[in-house]
Amino acid sequence: MTIAIMALLAIVVPAVLVWLLFGPQKFQRPEIGPLEINKLLPVHCRHFPQIRRILSQQDETFLAQRASRHILKHWRKERNQVLRLYVQGLAEDFQNLTELARLISKLSTELRPTQELELLKATLHFHMLYRLTMLRLALRSLPLPELSRLTEMVAALGFELELLLNHMTARMPQAGMDTGV
């Protein structure tokens, strides 16, 4: 048993080391200058009005009364595709926010272990939920009102963070920030 584990480790560990040291970063962070930190703000949630329109039940009711089943089916398929892309966009927003949190941590003199653990847990949790949500969308069983709430949530988050970042960026030139660490 030990021999099998060690043989496996002898293959896996060098591969892990190569990935940790030379592997591409999954998230390609936009180049952030002292005054450009707003690039990390959520952007996809700004399309909320258009998405809300797609989520509206009225359209479906209208089409169900007027259009053929074939057209209705095609319309649902298209809507599902749009929603899928939108949820992917929200995931990108989430990724940006975690990058922001890490940036704050990197630029701080002392980190709180509980706080960092919280961030790690939130990130892992999100990744799991995101994959499950995408699966559910693929099965076309996503409750649309919930997606609407999610969108509102990200939109509100973006607004609050914008206020926070405005405060941060105002301080950065004074401190001679080097974000390229």
Partner 1 sequence: MNLPALSLAHWAVSALLEAALLVLAWQRRLGERLPVFVVYLAVLVSNEVAMFELYRIVGFRSKVFFYAYWGTQGLFLLLRALVVYEVCRSILSPLEGVWRLAKPFLAMMGCVLLGMMLVSARDTPLNLASLIPPGQRGLELIIVGLLIAGLAFCRYYRVRAESYVAWIALGLGFHSIIQATDNTFLPWLGHFTLWAALSHVSFDIALVMWVVALWSPLPAMRHSRVLLGQDEYDRLSPQVTAQLRELNTRLLEMWK
What does the block give as tokens for 16? 């892990």
Least CB distance to partner 1 at residue 7 (A): 7
Give whole-number Cα distances, 43 to 31, 104, 150, in Å.
16, 20, 14
User: Measured between alpha carbons, how far is 132 from 63 in angstroms, rounded to an integer?
Assistant: 29
Least CB distance to partner 1 at residue 66 (A): 30
Q: Which of 121, 51, 122, 119 lies closest to 88 in space, CA to CA?
A: 51
E strands, the chain, where? none
Q: 31-50 burial, b for 16+ CB within 10 Å, e for fewer?
A: ebebeebeebbbebbeebee
**Which 78-137 residues touch partner 1, going by CB under 8 A?**
94, 97-102, 104-113, 115-116, 118-120, 122-123, 125-126, 129-130, 132-133, 136
22/66 with CB nearer partner 1: 22
84/102 with CB nearer partner 1: 102
9 is a site residue for partner 1 (CB under 8 A): yes
What residues line the site for partner 1 (CB under 8 A)? 2-3, 6-7, 9-10, 13-14, 16-18, 20-23, 25, 27, 29, 94, 97-102, 104-113, 115-116, 118-120, 122-123, 125-126, 129-130, 132-133, 136, 142-143, 146-147, 149-150, 153-154, 157, 160-161, 164, 168, 171-172, 175-178, 181
